[in-house]
Amino acid sequence: MEGIISNIQRFSIHDGPGMRSTVFFKGCPLRCVWCHNPETYQFGCELRYNAAKCIGCGGCTAVCAARSLSAGEVGLVYNRDSCVFCRSCTAACPGGALAISGRRMSIDEVLADVLEDESMYRRTGGGVTLSGGEPAAQPAFCEALLDALVDRKIHTCLDTCGFCEANTFLRITAKADLILYDLKHIDPAIHEQVTGVGNRLILDNLQALNQSGAAIEIRIPVIPGLNDSDENLADTARILSPMDGVRSIVLLGYHSLGQSKIYDFDRHGDDIGICIPKQAELEQIAGRMAEATGKPVTFR
């Protein structure tokens, strides 16, 4: 069995308790306009191109045995159909303009990577977090990886948007120690506008997850002008307040890192015009959310 993994990040401190390794799955059913990990959007491996870093040396086209790259009038021309993702072009690019996002990995290959830090997990109360993208969008691989980690008594977190067929979702989440559950917006029309999908399935899965007895940490991205209105925050609090499974809430202030990662052959990352929230604003929202839900709320 193989999955497509974008990255494995070691020494993570924000993806669950303790020191962790975070396995980023490739592919996501949502298209949040503020996404911090746009390189995980597409399912499958992909070649990414940052034209601003290209020095026009021709090294990549010279080594491309599949003839997938050629010089165009402005930058490179890319033929996806013939690309075999051999990484010859990225190795030959002195400016770092080319990169492969995603690689096929077996369960054993992922384990070999993350288990290098097993002693650190046990010392710090950490473990392994499955993130993305959306891990549940590769359900068989996600479930098998969780099984393998549980067998080795490694603490697991599943970072999810909750957009997954209900039975599959509950089967997968039952295998994780802690669910990091993202809530983008409560209004269904606005949710579809800013993420590309409605939120009925997401909210239904959250209710079912809470009823299953799972331990849940709610994560709310704070995106000024999109989901930080008093109405949306109050509606969010009303849903979360009676949920016993929700142990804590984390507010994630928008940052612009994702803008630097969306360059490729199709899109060059126009500024979406979102301001980074000030710490005082996050602190105020956290206080109101804690009061309205009766649950611990932190922010970063």
What gap in Å lies between CA 284 and CA 257, rounded to an integer? 24
- Residue 268: inside a domain: no
- In the chain, which residues have pLDDT < 50? 268
Q: What is the CATH number of the domain that holds 96?
A: 3.30.70.20
- Distance between CA atoms of 281 and 299, rounded to whole angstroms? 10
Q: What angle do CA 279, 22, 201 make, to 5 degrees?
A: 75
Per-residue confidence (pLDDT) for residue 270, from 0 to 100 = 55
Give a yes or no: residue 269 inside a domain. Answer: no
Q: What tens digit of pLDDT does each residue of 74-111 get?
A: 788 999 899 999 999 999 999 999 988 899 999 999 99
In a domain, 267, yes or no: no
Domain boundary among 101, 126, 144: 101
The SS3 call for residue 271 is coil
Structural domain boundaries enclosing 97 = 46-101
Q: How many domains does the chain have?
A: 2
Say which residues have a Cβ less than 8 Å from residue 300's Cβ, sequence separation at least 6.
Answer: 14, 250, 251, 252, 253, 282
Q: Is residue 52 part of a domain?
A: yes
User: In this structure, are residues 107 and 1 in contact, taking their beta carbons and an 8 Å threshold?
Assistant: yes
Say if residue 55 is in the same domain as residue 39: no
Does 146 map to a domain? yes
Query: In terms of domains, do 116 and 196 share one?
Result: yes
Contact between 300 and 252 (Cβ < 8 Å): yes
Residue 268's pLDDT is 46
Q: Find out whether 145 and 115 touch, Cβ atoms under 8 Å.
A: no
Single out the residue in 75, 101, 127 at which a domain terminates. Answer: 101
Q: Are residues 8 and 24 in the same domain?
A: yes
In a domain, 266, yes or no: no
Does residue 270 fall inside a structural domain?
A: no
Whether residue 58 is found in the same domain as residue 128: no
Domain CATH for 180? 3.20.20.70
